[in-house]
Structure 1
Amino acid sequence: MSLPDLAWQVMYGRLAWAIVAATVLLAPLPAARTLSGRRFAALLAGLAALFLLPGAASPAHWLGLAFQYPSGLLVACCVLQLLRSRRPARNDTAVMSPVLASVIVAAGTILYLDAMGLLTQGYYYMGFGPAGAPALAVLGALGCVAAIVAERARTQAVALLAAILLFSLLRLPTGNLWDALLDPFLWAWAIVTLAVLAVRRAARHGAVAAPVQAPAPLLVPDAVGVTIEHSSTIKEHVSGS
């Protein structure tokens, strides 16, 4: 097991939290699409400079105390989300797809239950393993490359491949494979994505299942007290009488 150098961890934490903050603050804003490239770059540079301040002057210092480091996958997804906010969306550019969100929610639930002692299988510590973790990283990287070549889920494959390479080459953020692929913010993002999709599907299903009721016919009493339909059949009623 090899851990990343502390200086690399500190630098990664500063830049990673800056990217996450920029995504949270800028990506949802409609005005971000209308900003010129220079202004958008200036905003990013300003946030990066703020988070690169030394010691407790940096917001990353306090975020790191509370949440440690963002995962490499979260940082990669945030970068892609920022890029997506600057150009028209395409079908393949949805960063948090339903498949990726489902995998993240399932893996995160298992790991967090294990960390709380409800499973006690030591799944998190397997991410430090000298054989299993590198083998899983290699298989994951090969799968990402295959998906990119086949042009299937390329956005998600690029983000996952970037996180795996960050772990494989620099052992960031902590030397544990799971920390490179998962963190509480990414897990919450995936949960919100699935919840929104479930609500939308339920709304569509309810709209389709609701029967379309025809308006009730207007009933008009005739002169002798017999109720007849006020429609085109009135002529037939009159002629028959």
Structure 2
Amino acid sequence: MSLPDLASQIVYGRLAWAAVAATLLLALLDLLPIRALPRRALGALLATVFVLFMLPGAASPAYWLALAFHYPSGLLFGCCVLKLRQHWDGQRGGGAVMMPPLAAAIAVSGAILYLDAMGLLTQGYYYAGFGPTAAPLVALLGACACAVAIVRNQARPQAGALLTAILLFTLLRLPTGNLWDTLLDPLLWGWAVTSLAALAVARGARRTAARATRLPQPAHAADLNTLSALGAAQPSSTIKEHMSGN
């Protein structure tokens, strides 16, 4: 087991937490009924966030975030960079960075690891991420799969983010020297679970709307239409009878 260099950990932590904070800030701005920020204002905002997080020691918010949450995973870092790139290109809201297959894989693997960490499975899955054989083999297979996806242009941004995370682990052992910390963290797992829940709610709403449009018109509605038509014609008939009586 080899651990990353402390200096590289500090630099990585500041950059990664800055990307996460900037992504969360822009996500909050997307919820507000305001126009998208122009590129110059967006650049100034991002520069301010990154400068603030690169401050030395306890002056950096990353210092306190690292104490509470350790380091973001390399995959979360990559996904946040993708979201920032979407904002920079003017795609407010942008496309789905957390695609359903990726979200499902993160949600399932995260649930297994967290259950194991809580002692409900006790299989030592997390510590296997430090292993000298299994972890490098999984990283190699994952890198090959990402390379194939990029060549075939299948989910290329997500595959690039995952490949970058694996390379960070392979070359620099970032962020902690454990493969699972490279591919997963609580924030990324929450993002995946929230995305799957939102997708399920949206699909349920679409199915409900589709069923409503396919339902036949109720019989009583047709009767009401007939009665209203008769009621509209009744005054004219009464006028004609009155004129003929005169």
TM more than 0.5: yes
Give the corresponding residue for 2:190. 188
Q: Contact 2:42–2:88 (CA<8 Å) still a contact in 1? A: no
Query: For residue 144 of structure 1, what is the amino acid of its counterpart?
Result: C
Give the corresponding residue for 1:73. 75
Deviation, structure 1 residue 9: 0.8
Q: Partners in 2 of 1:22 and 1:44 — Cα distance?
A: 6
In structure 1, runs of 5+ residues without a counterpart are: 221-228, 232-241
Give the corresponding residue for 2:147. 145
Give the corresponding residue for 1:57. 59
Identity of aligned residues (%): 62
In structure 2, runs of 5+ residues without a counterpart are: 232-246
Q: Which of 200, 222, 226 lines up with 1:216 in the alignment? A: 222
Q: Tell me which moved more, 105-114 or 43-52.
A: 43-52
Q: Which of 181, 186, 207 lines up with 1:179 in the alignment? A: 181
Q: Tell me which moved more, 169-178 or 199-208.
A: 199-208
Give the corresponding residue for 1:131. 133
Matched, 1:35 2:41: no
Deviation, structure 1 residue 85: 2.0
Q: Partners in 1 of 2:183 and 2:10 — Cα distance?
A: 19
Q: Contact 1:71–1:173 (CA<8 Å) still a contact in 2? A: yes
Query: For residue 217 of structure 1, what is the amino acid of its counterpart?
Result: D
Deviation, structure 1 residue 10: 1.1
Q: Deviation per CA, 1:145-194, whole angstroms, max 9, x where unpaired?
A: 00000011112101100100111111000000000000000000001100
Which of the pair is proportionally richer in helix? 2
Give the corresponding residue for 2:118. 116
Q: Tell me which moved more, 112-121 or 55-64.
A: 55-64
Q: Tell me which moved more, 51-60 or 209-218.
A: 209-218
Q: Which of 197, 205, 222 lines up with 1:203 in the alignment? A: 205
Deviation, structure 1 residue 230: 4.0
Q: Partners in 2 of 1:32 and 1:118 — Cα distance?
A: 48
Q: Partners in 2 of 1:212 and 1:182 — Cα distance?
A: 49
SS at 1:118 equivalent: coil
Deviation, structure 1 residue 28: 4.9
Matched, 1:14 2:18: no
Deviation, structure 1 residue 27: 4.3
Q: CA RMSD in A?
A: 2.3
Query: For residue 87 of structure 1, what is the amino acid of its counterpart?
Result: D
Deviation, structure 1 residue 86: 2.8
Change (3 A) 1:49 1:87: closer
SS at 1:216 equivalent: helix
Q: Partners in 2 of 1:12 and 1:216 — Cα distance?
A: 69
Deviation, structure 1 residue 49: 1.3
Deviation, structure 1 residue 98: 0.5
Q: Which of 82, 85, 90 lines up with 1:83 in the alignment? A: 85
Deviation, structure 1 residue 8: 0.9
Q: Contact 1:26–1:32 (CA<8 Å) still a contact in 2? A: no
Q: Partners in 1 of 2:90 and 2:38 — Cα distance?
A: 14
SS at 1:217 equivalent: helix
User: How many pairs were matched up?
Assistant: 223
Query: For residue 125 of structure 1, what is the amino acid of its counterpart?
Result: Y
Q: Contact 2:146–2:160 (CA<8 Å) still a contact in 1? A: yes
